[in-house]
């Protein structure tokens, strides 16, 4: 069923002058099912354009749970969009359709050449629409998704830098908040490409951006990656001190992380301290999901 067939009922239910929903605020981090419930609740009484934008996010919750066919059907049912559809609705529809073909949630064997081509086409559409409309956060999101289509480290670094340029030039808070994630992605691409010095610098910058935005959990991830680069560079004593400091900080916050103790185990063994390595391994095992 095309979205045009659904619009009369949506129009009848939409209150005049209702504020558009804040899509980001409706998401529950790490819980796609709860996010879907909140998004569907927000659709009740929503204006047509708001209903459509919400529907793209409902589809995304399906994709995050591996139901890419269901997500694609939901999105395809909205096409063609009404003539008056906003650029944001158009950009989100293209972006989320791209995600049904290629994303971080896909198994490697599901990403076929045909899937890459379709994802690139839809991400390219989202990039064009969002850029023309000045929708910086969506522009960045679509650019960063191209790194999943072109997974070679040099291409991933290219797309991270392209998205970072938009974020740095933007005055929109939602776009600026992408900086930490983009610098983290850039660091990973540089690390995979063998440029460990540049990767470490990118992780330092990612941590600073996360701390500026008050994102302590993400800042801790950047600290962990920075320390891991030190290990890969052979700077074992520095890496050990950094991971130990991170372990103490996370313990104090009540959020110990098994990956920190995994690194500590590796470092203690490399530095010739098997007893400390065994203690770190025990902490890691106690924290690992069962």
Cα separation of 236 and 280, whole Å?
16
Residue ranges of domains in the chain? 235-290
What does the pLDDT read at residue 20? Answer: 81
pLDDT digits (tens, 9 = 90+) for 162-221: 999 999 999 999 999 999 999 999 999 999 999 999 999 999 999 999 999 999 999 999
What does the pLDDT read at residue 6? Answer: 52
DSSP string, 30-67: T-HHHHHHHHHHHHTT--HHHHHHHHHHHHHHHHHTT-
* Residue 151 banded pLDDT, cuts 50, 70, 90: very high
pLDDT digits (tens, 9 = 90+) for 50-64: 999 999 999 999 999
Instruction: Count the Cβ atoms, other than its own, within 10 Å of residue 15.
Output: 8
pLDDT digits (tens, 9 = 90+) for 241-256: 999 999 999 999 999 9
């Amino acid at each position: 069923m095309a979205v045009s067939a659904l619009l009369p009922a949506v129009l009848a239910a939409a209150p005049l002058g209702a504020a558009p929903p804040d899509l980001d605020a409706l998401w529950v981090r790490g819980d796609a099912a709860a996010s879907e419930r909140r998004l569907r609740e927000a659709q009740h009484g929503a204006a047509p354009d708001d209903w459509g934008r919400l529907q793209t996010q409902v589809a995304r919750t399906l994709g995050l749970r591996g139901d890419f066919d269901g997500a694609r059907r939901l999105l395809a049912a909205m096409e063609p969009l009404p003539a008056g559809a906003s650029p944001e609705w158009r950009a989100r529809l293209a972006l989320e359709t791209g995600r049904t073909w290629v994303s971080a949630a896909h198994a490697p064997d599901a990403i076929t050449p045909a899937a890459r081509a379709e994802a690139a086409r839809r991400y390219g559409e989202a990039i064009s629409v969002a850029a023309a409309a000045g929708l910086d956060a969506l522009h960045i999101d679509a650019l960063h998704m191209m790194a999943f289509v072109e997974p070679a480290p040099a291409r991933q670094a290219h797309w991270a830098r392209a998205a970072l340029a938009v974020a740095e030039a933007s005055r929109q808070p939602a776009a600026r908040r992408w900086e930490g994630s983009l610098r983290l992605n850039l660091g990973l691409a540089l690390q995979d490409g063998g440029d460990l010095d540049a990767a470490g610098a990118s992780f330092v910058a990612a941590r600073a951006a996360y701390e500026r935005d008050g994102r302590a959990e993400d800042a801790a991830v950047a600290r962990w990656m920075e320390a891991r680069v030190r290990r890969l560079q052979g700077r074992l004593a520095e890496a050990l001190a950094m991971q130990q400091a991170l372990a103490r900080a996370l313990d104090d916050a009540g959020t110990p992380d098994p990956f920190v103790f995994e690194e500590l185990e590796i470092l203690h063994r490399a530095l010739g301290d098997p007893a400390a390595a065994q203690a770190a391994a025990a902490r890691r095992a106690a924290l690992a999901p069962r």
